[in-house]
Amino acid sequence: MILGVVLMCTITMKAQQQHQTTKPANVLQYNDEKHFKNVRQLTFGGDNAEAYFGFDNEHISFQRTNPKEGLQCDQIFFGKLPEKQEEKFSYKLVSTGKGRTTCAYLMPDKKHVLYASTHKAADSCPPVPDRSVIKKYVWPIYDSYDIFVADLNGKITRQLTTEPGYDAEATISPKGDKIIFTSMRNGDLDLYVMDIDGKNVKQITHELGYDGGAWFSPDGKKIVWRASRPTTDEEVREYKELLGQGLVMPTHMEVFVANADGSDVQQVTHLGKANWAPNFMPDGKRIIFASNHEYERGFPFNMYIINPDGSGLEKISHDGGFDAFPMFSPDGKKLIFSSNRNNGGGHDTNLFICDWID
């Protein structure tokens, strides 16, 4: 997964960005964002999303689209975070520059990056759904996505998945031993875990619906993810029909938690609409996620905190456009996220980082 260009880890942005924001466009931080301190904008222009910290707290990977730079669909970039305010954030391409990529994560060795890509099927960007024909807001589930490991010079060193169908949305356990990802190898979109080298693949979700965007807790014992759960005959029929076309409709998703092996599944949110991009807080006891549940038209998206039992819901971001993809640094001191804020009233989505005040 993105909302912007099509991303699978979470959700995309452009359909929603057509709405006017309800807050000033040129703001780094709103007065009621009490948990944020020293907010800094890292990127300027294009669609920048899914920025994830490496194990050292100092480097990030992220995906970026910017047609003005010749990036017609998402590619993966890597950069070292600035240490000083006057220092510029510099980054470099670490994917092949071919096909579409998504969901990058820096490997524990700090020398490689994990991501999904369609480049083995074609050099060009895969086509996006024609929503004027489908008349629904849908995501494509490209069956050409596989998961790869590359070095920081962009050379692919290993292909971890080879099964037919969609394999993407991979993140790594804080212990550095396991990868969790989404796959359609069984005909539905479920979560799987595998060893860091791609061996010992095991399916850990089994309910009908789209299970994706999963993360491990800081101690590696729990997982959190977003899922759709079609229940009525009509919902099941629509889900299966779209999936048969390589599509999903992500407008109804809730946050779930479970043990790392998939046992003891608990639904966290019961908010309606799209609740997604969940991640654990540094204490491992709370969850941060993005949601549009407050808004009848499904926009804006803001970030919230909640307890695993569904209590203690707190809104923590207040942009009138799009705030999502939150991730804390491993030491718990920093929060990175994507937002439409400070974009001059345009549609750009950029990366922002701040100190976290609990």
Q: Where are the domains of the chain?
A: 14-356
What is the reported pLDDT for 16? 39
What is the structure's pLDDT at 18?
Answer: 37
Residue 357 confidence (pLDDT) above 60:
yes
Per-residue pLDDT, 21: 41
Among residues of the chain, what percentage have pLDDT more than 90? 85
Question: Which pLDDT does position 315 carry in this prediction?
Answer: 98
Q: Can you tell me the distance from the alpha carbon of 254 to that of 249, in angstroms, rounded to the nearest whole number?
A: 13
Give the pLDDT score at 173. 98
Q: What is the pLDDT of residues 326-355, one digit of tens each?
A: 999 999 999 999 999 999 888 899 999 999
SS (H, E, C) 210-265: CEEEEEECCCCCEEEEEECCCCCHHHHHHHHHHHHCCEECCCCEEEEEEECCCCCC
pLDDT higher than 50, residue 19: no
**Euclidean distance between CA atoms 254 and 121, whole angstroms:** 32
Per mean pLDDT, which range of 24-33, 72-81, 307-316 is the poorest? Answer: 24-33
**What's the one-letter identity of residue 119?**
H
pLDDT in tens, 262-288: 999 999 999 999 999 999 999 999 999
CATH class of 14-356: mainly beta
Query: E strand or H helix at 130, and its extent?
Result: none
pLDDT tens-digit profile of 83-139? 988 899 999 999 999 999 999 999 999 999 999 999 999 999 999 988 888 888 899
Instruction: Provide the pLDDT for residue 25.
Output: 63
DSSP 81: P
Lowest mean pLDDT among 84-88, 156-160, 239-243: 84-88
Asked if residue 336 lies in contact with residue 6, where contact means CB atoms within 8 angstroms, the answer is no
What the block records as the tokens of 307 is 């307890």
φ, ψ of residue 134 to 5 degrees: the values are -75, -30
pLDDT above 90 for 204? yes
Ramachandran angles phi, psi of 351, nearest 5°: -95, 140
Q: Which has the closest alpha carbon to 64: 100, 28, 111, 88?
A: 100
Selected residue with higher pLDDT from 228 and 22: 228
